[in-house]
Structure 1
C-alpha cells in the first residue's frame, strides 16, 4: 500500500500542477501512468481493499503501463477536499458518497436520500440504468469528473454513546455526527436532533471524548473504524441504503488510451462487485459481533424515524433534485 503525508501530497501537486494526477513514474518504468486514488475509509474497509485489488489487476493487464496508487484513511484530506482535488485535477480518483457530490452537482445527492431505496437490489438497478448516464453527463460537463463505478456501502444505522434510543422522540437535542451534507442535516433535524458535521477521520476521537452523542453509518464502517469501541448502543434504524461512487478526473481519464481505459474500467468493476459481496456478507454477521463486543442492540420503532423524514425532506429538496425525480426512482 502506498502512503504519503497530506503535506507532501499538497507540495507535490502544487509543484506539478495538473500533472499531479497524470504523472510518469520515475525510474525503470518511466512511461508508466500513475493514477492516485483517495478514500476516507480505513485500510481494512472493503472499499480501499477493493482499490488495491483493482490496482493489482490493472498493473498485471497493462504490463505496468498504468499504476494505480491507493491512499486510504483520509491521508489526502477530508471528503470535500478530495472531491475538490479530483475536480481541479490535483488528484486522479476518489471513492465518495453521492450526497457529498451533490454539493457539486445537486441532482446527485438524491442517490443517498433517506428512505428512498427499498433494498440493495433497487439501488443497483437504478445505478445501472440510464438515470446514472444522465447524472454522469452533468457531472462531466459541469465539474470535469466522471463516475466510473457505483459501489454498495451499506445500510446506515444509528449508534449512541450513553443514551438508549427507541423512537425518534428520544433524539431531541441529541448531538448527531453527520457528514457535511445538507440532506443528512435535514434528516437529523426531522428527528429533532442537532446535526454536527465532522469528517470521518475525526469521528472516533469525537465519540470517545463525548463531543458528539452518536453517529450513523453502515455496520462494516463501525467495524473498520472501531467505532463500536466508543459506542454503547446500536440502534437498527436502517434509514439510508448508501452507495459510494468511484470518481475520476475527466481530463486524466481521457489521456488514457482506449485500451487502458477499458482495462481500468473492467478491473474497477470487478473489484467493486467483490466489495459489494464483502459488505453484504459483513452486514449479515456484524450485529452479533458487536453484541459480543459489549454493545446493546436495539430494534427501534422504525416508523417513528421514517415518518417525519418523508414528511419534510423530499419536499424540501425537490427543487434541487428536479421535479419528479424522487417518484421516478421510487417506481423503478
Structure 2
C-alpha cells in the first residue's frame, strides 16, 4: 500500500468519523409564546447553549419564541404529537390534562413570589407534578415566576365591590375568572393582541395582568388607574415531552433538569427586579397606583367560589397555603 493511498484512506476515515459525529447530534425544539426580549426567551436560549456545553454538543436545541410553533394550546398539543420536545407554559394548560394542578392559579393561594418558589420545592408540588406526569407522561422540570397579576381600570378600584358591573377583560381560563366574578365584574375573553384597542375604545373598562405586561403592552397609556389587587402570583412550567424524556439517559436527565432549574431561577430574579421598579415608575408617570385591602377580595372569592367547580381539591389549597 503506497504512502499516498494510506494518506487518502486516513483522510476518508476522519471525514467519515466526523460525519458520524455530526449525525449523532440530536436536534431538539423548545417552544414558547413569549417575546424575544422577555426572560422566558433569553434564559431558554441560555439553557439551550448550556445543555449543549454540558453534553459535549450531543444536543442542538433551537428555541422558538413568540408563538412561532403555535399558540399555547398548540405547543401543549405538540408535546403529545412529537412536534416539540420542550415548552414553557402555564399550569392552567397543564390542568386541562390533570385538573388538580390548576389549584395553583386559585386567587390568593400564594402570598408572594417567595411562597411560590417554596411551593416548588415542597412535597405537594412533587405530588401534583407527578399527577400530571402520570396522566400525560410529560415531565415538569422547573417552575419560573411569571409575575403577580394586578388590575388596571378606568375608575379607581379600592374594594371588591368597586368591580361590580365593570366590563373586565380576563383570559378565558377558569381560575383567572374567579376573582372578577366573585366581585361582580362582567368578564369578557378578548384576545390578548386586541386588549389595548378594547381598552382604548371602551369595549372594556378594565383588565388584569402582571406589571411587566402592563408596561410592555403600554396598557397604562389607556388606563390611568393601576390597582395592586395582587390576586394571582403567576408562574410558568418548563415541560419536557414524554417521548423526549424517555429517550434521555439518566445522566442527561440530570443535566437537563439542573440547567432548566438554573434558567428558571435566573428568570425569576429578572422578573422580580423589574416588578420592584415598576410601581415607582408608574407613579412618576402620573398614574394613580392604588393599594387595596387584599383580605376583602380574598374573603369574597372564598365565599362565592368553590374549589370543586374547577375540579380542584381544597386539601391541596390548604397544603399550599400552609407552606412557609
TM range (shorter): 0.7 to 0.9
* Equivalent pairs, count: 305
**2:32 aligned with 1:33:** no
Query: Matches of residues 101-250 of structure 1 in structure 2 within 5 Å?
Result: 101-160=94-153, 162-250=154-242
Cα 1:39–1:285 shift into 2, 3 Å: same
2:289 is matched with which residue: 291, 297, 302? 297
Contact 1:110 1:326 in 2 (8 A): yes
**2:64 aligned with 1:71:** yes
Q: What CA RMSD, in Å, does the superposition of the two structures yield over aligned residues?
A: 2.5
Cα 1:228–1:72 shift into 2, 3 Å: farther
Aligned to 1:85: 78
**2:238 aligned with 1:272:** no
Contact 2:179 2:231 in 1 (8 A): no
Contact 1:29 1:64 in 2 (8 A): no
**2:249 aligned with 1:257:** yes
Whose radius of gyration is greater, 1 or 2? 2
**2:58 aligned with 1:97:** no
What's the TM-score once normalised by structure 2's chain length?
A: 0.85
**2:313 aligned with 1:322:** yes
Single out whichever of 140-149 and 166-175 deviates more from structure 2: 166-175
- Structure 1: how far apart are the matches of 2:168 and 2:130? 34
What's the TM-score once normalised by structure 1's chain length?
A: 0.83
- Structure 2: how far apart are the matches of 1:77 and 1:211? 27
Contact 2:175 2:310 in 1 (8 A): no
Cα 1:214–1:83 shift into 2, 3 Å: farther
Contact 2:103 2:313 in 1 (8 A): no
Single out whichever of 74-83 and 241-250 deviates more from structure 2: 74-83
Cα 1:277–1:114 shift into 2, 3 Å: same
**2:59 aligned with 1:59:** no
Deviations 1:130-183 (A, max 9, x none): 2222222221222232111011112211112x3332222221222322223111
- Structure 2: how far apart are the matches of 1:74 and 1:232? 30
User: Structure 2 stretches of 5 or more lacking a match?
Assistant: 1-18
- Structure 2: how far apart are the matches of 1:224 and 1:68? 28
- Structure 2: how far apart are the matches of 1:34 and 1:208? 44
- Structure 2: how far apart are the matches of 1:204 and 1:74? 19
Q: CA deviation at 1:99?
A: 2.5
- Structure 1: how far apart are the matches of 2:123 and 2:44? 25
Q: CA deviation at 1:126?
A: 1.7
Deviations 1:168-210 (A, max 9, x none): 2221222322223111122221011122224544444444444
Single out whichever of 202-211 and 107-116 deviates more from structure 2: 202-211
Q: CA deviation at 1:65?
A: 1.8
Cα 1:217–1:63 shift into 2, 3 Å: same
